[in-house]
Copies of this chain bind each other. A is one copy, B any other.
Amino acid sequence: MHAVTIVDGSLVWAEREDPRPGRGELLVKVRATGVNGADLLQRRGLYPPPPGVVADVPGLELAGEVVALGDGVRRFEPGDRVMSIVAGGGQAELVVVPETSALRVPDAISDAEAGGFPEVFSTAHDALVTQAALVAGERVLVTGAAGGVGTAAVQLAHALGATVVASVRSPEARPAVVDLGADVVVDPADAANAGPYDVCLELVGAPSLVAALPAMTTGGRVVVIGVGAGARLDLDLLTVMGKRLRIGGSTLRARSLEDKAAVAAGVTRDVLPLVASGAVRVPVWATMPMAEAQEAYDRFAGGGKVGKLVLLAD
C-alpha cells in the first residue's frame, strides 16, 4: 500500500508495508480521510503520536470499507462502510482500526463526508455533552466556529436545543455558520457582548478565552480544545471561585482504547441519528487526492475555509 509519509518536514506518497489486523481489529480500505490542525503540527514535528503509533504517517480519522477481520470481531463484516478516529496513520490506503472505535457510516452520507466526520464530531460531542454537560435551553459560545470542530459543535449544540452564539473572524464565512444553526454569529471582538454563556467551547486559544470569561454565568463550564492563538492564560482565580466556573480541556488522541470506545458509543447514541436524518451534516469545504497531501496541508494552512478538507483515495 501507499501512505502519506513525513520526510524532513514534507509529505510524500510512499510505498509502505500493508498492516494486518490483530485481535478485535478491522482492516479498512480507506476511501476518505480528513485533514486536521494536529496533522499540520505533526508535519512540523511538533505533535508526535502516542507511543506505539506509527510516527511518520499522519491522519486522525478515516472512512472506508472493511476488507478483513482480526480474530474475535463481532459487530462488523467485510464490505461494511465504517469510519473511525485513530491516534495516527489514518492517511494511508489501508488502516487497522479497533472495532470498538469504529462507527457505521449512515447511508445518507458520502465517503468524503464520512472521512471528515469522526474527529470533529467526536471532539464536539465529547466536549459539549460529556465534559460540559450542555443541556437544552442553555446558551453556548463556540469560538472559531467556521472550522472543522466549530461547524460540528454549532450543529450539535443547536440539535441539542441550546442557543448557539458563534464567533467567526471572517465575515465571508458567517452566512454559512448561520445556515448550520447558529442563532447569533459575531465577530470575535463582540463575543463577550452576546452572552451570558452557560458553556464556552474555546477553539481559538487564550486571548479568545480571556475575552469570554467575564461573560460566563455562575456555574459556567469552559472546555478548551484549540489554542492556536496562544496557550498561556492569565486566569483570575477569584473569578473562577466567585462564578463557580469549571475550566477543562481535552484531546482525543492520547486516550485509552476504553475511553475511545466510550466516545464512539456516545457519538453512536447522540450524533449518528442526527446524521442519518439530515439534521446534522459534514460541511466538506474541499476534497483533494490523498497523494497530494503536501499541497492539501498548505491549502488548509491558508485558512478561509468553512468545514473540512478531506483527502480521497483514487
Contact = CB atoms under 8 A, between A and B. Distances in A.
A241 B250 contact: yes
B247 A246 contact: yes
Interface string A237-251: 110111011111111
Contacts of A206: 237
A241 B247 CA distance: 10
Contact of A248 (B205, B246, B249, B254): B246
Given A244-B251, A249-B241, A236 B232 contact: yes
Interface stretch (A188-196, A223-231, A265-273, A294-302): A223-231
A235 interface: yes
B249 A240 contact: yes
A234 interface: yes
Contact of A247 (B225, B240, B254): B240
Nearest to A222: B247
One complex includes copies of this chain to the number of 2
A254 B241 CA distance: 11
A233 interface: yes
Contacts of A227: 237-238, 241
A247 B244 contact: no
A238 B231 contact: yes
Contact of A241 (B234, B237, B251): B251
B233 A237 contact: yes
Contacts of A236: 231-233
A260 to B, nearest CB: 13
Contacts of A232: 234-237
26 contacts: A205-B237, A206-B237, A209-B237, A218-B254, A224-B237, A224-B240, A225-B241, A227-B237, A227-B238, A231-B238, A232-B234, A232-B237, A233-B234, A233-B237, A237-B249, A241-B249, A242-B251, A242-B254, A244-B248, A244-B249, A244-B250, A245-B248, A246-B246, A246-B247, A246-B248, A247-B248
Interface of A: 205-206, 209, 218, 224-225, 227, 231-238, 240-242, 244-251, 254
